[in-house]
Structure 1
């Protein structure tokens, strides 16, 4: 109790900057100067973690928006559309993500991509009304390139997840839907797709984790995500390489563990009744 009172009095007596210095001194005293260096630059690394989280979310969203229609085309499309989607998927899955990212950053015209995205959003607004989001104009080119690379590579894998989920639905479901007067597209939309989305959660969970870890590849094009910022730090103090790596490994573990536990809950919450999750 006395120690708590003393600590409270100390915190009220010292300004925030001196409290921070006191914390650094304690870390340096018990763990060494290298961990003190990591502690002092913790905010810098946490901002990199924020970039990693946003990059993961945007890439997964792009992958879903492109991957789900691609999976549906592979499951129900005609010969030409199915063959085209399959060939593009094989190309993306067979190309290293680093090569794809370098291509999108150094070859792909980012301004044209942003212009096309803004035009598409305005078209949607014209048809459906004001959209809840706008295309930002100050996004770094490296972030856009990394999102495109990770998103479309993820789409190639997500398409297979959704194709398998759609194919796993018993044909009797389609026949039952058609027998009560639904058209083919109505049956797919209202009967097949809801069940397939639920069955695809475990595979989607794995893909989400892979994309999260693959964001570190954006280091190659200079994006200031978690790995890039850690590299910036241990080039300043080379004796703290191990400590910085251990700290960012802990951050990656927290992110992947939290993501897996969240998606486990989603999988259990929306599992098809009667099926084991």
Structure 2
């Protein structure tokens, strides 16, 4: 059978693998966003004690300093002896916790770009620290963070392809199945896979850029 006929026949499996990659991406980014924001706020506005700050610094540096493929092996094979965890769940945890370390620094830079006088002015008006963060600082920091956050989005799209090493049947592993069944045709199959990743990346970035423009306040960025 011709390789193009095989690709046409098996293209739904590639789309299924792409769907798994998208779900994995959404899950890890959600974990990264929530945990990363918590780490950022604790680092900037939490207690300045070593008991609070040192674990946050250690967490951020460890998860940013270890290659993601090693983290995948640790979470899947390491946790397997303690808890019966699926390959997908291990990938979500490993990539989500690592993304949180990066996102925490994205949000931290965004909050630090806001003049410190705004917090003092908010407190002087009688607002609590939590309300000042929620209503005054966060809306501004969110606008500043979207640009750098698109880089994290693009990076995580590409890193989801590494989940195949622990058995997640996403786009890359589906491509391997097709290559095995056709006994070759590596270039053509992975060219299709590359095109699918590129389309997903461009679509996501375009949506984020549009969201950034929608939130922009005329003259504010300048």
Tell me which interval the TM-score lies in, with the shorter structure as reference length.
over 0.9
Name the residue aligned to 1:17: none
Whether the aligned pair in 2 keeps the contact of 1:110 and 1:141 (CA below 8 Å) is no
Q: 1:259 aligns with which of 204, 207, 213?
A: 204
State which drifts further: 96-105 or 34-43.
Answer: 34-43
Name the residue aligned to 2:5: 36
Q: 1:183 aligns with which of 119, 128, 132?
A: 128
Specify every segment of 5 or more residues in structure 1 that has no aligned partner in the other structure, as ranges. 1-27, 114-139
| Deviation digits for residues 48-77 of structure 1 (CA, Å, limit 9, x no counterpart) | 000000000000001111111001112122
Offset at residue 38 of structure 1 (A)? 1.1
Distance 2:98 2:17 in 1: 23
Name the residue aligned to 1:153: 98
The alignment covers a number of residue pairs equal to 220
Whether the aligned pair in 2 keeps the contact of 1:45 and 1:230 (CA below 8 Å) is yes
Q: How does 1:81-230 map to 2 (within 5 A)?
A: 81-108=52-79, 141-230=86-175
Distance 2:54 2:218 in 1: 35
Which one has the largest radius of gyration? 1
Distance 2:10 2:19 in 1: 15
Distance 1:52 1:110 in 2: 26
Query: Normalising by structure 2, what TM-score?
Result: 0.93
Distance 1:209 1:186 in 2: 32
| Deviation digits for residues 72-121 of structure 1 (CA, Å, limit 9, x no counterpart) | 112122232122101110000000000101111011259859xxxxxxxx
Distance 2:151 2:68 in 1: 17
Distance 1:111 1:197 in 2: 39
Name the residue aligned to 1:52: 21
